[in-house]
Amino acid sequence: MLEAISETGFKESLAQSRIAPTTTRELSGELPPLIQTALDQAQSAGKRVFVDFHAKWCGACRTMDKTTFADAAVIEALDQGYVFIKVDTDEYPEIGKQFSVVGLPTVVALSGSGDIVYRHTGPLKAEPLLKVLQEIGQHE
């Protein structure tokens, strides 16, 4: 099988992770008003923006709402260092498209200048998310 695949020109390689907390990616185009408002609030408060992309039909999203985002330590970390917004990708598909949301839940943290400093697709438990929030919060 590998021989047949190799004949098509495929070369084995390792892909770099796109979710590393230190990865920065600029967004193209004008920010949607919902995101720009949160970014303006974050800049004036010296915080970052944390966006939770979700949908009502997403079971993993509902689970994160009941567990991860209900965790007292996560709530405190978000309150202290972030402007936290939730974006329903069914209500705001253009925002999901601009942020290249291809699966739910997807969480994205933006620096004060609007660059993506963290991105994760899939469910997250409270403890790993808390570590990320603390780590990226120290780099502003």
State how far the Cα of 50 lies from the Cα of 105, in Å rounded to an integer. 13
- Write the pLDDT tens digit of every residue in 6-24: 566 655 543 343 444 434 4
At 28 the pLDDT is 62
- Which of 135, 136, 64 minimizes the C-alpha distance to 105? 64
Q: How confident is residue 30, by pLDDT bands cut at 50, 70 and 90? A: confident
85 or 137: which leads in pLDDT: 85
At 113 the pLDDT is 87
Per-residue b or e along 41-78, where b marks 16 or more CB atoms closer than 10 Å to that residue's CB:
ebbeeebbbbbbbbbeebeebeebeeebbebeebeebb
Per domain, the residue ranges of the chain are 17-137
- Write the pLDDT tens digit of every residue in 33-91: 999 999 999 999 999 999 999 999 999 999 999 999 999 999 999 999 999 999 999 99
Quickly name the fold that domain 17-137 has: Glutaredoxin (3.40.30)
Helix (H) or strand (E) holding 3: helix 2-7
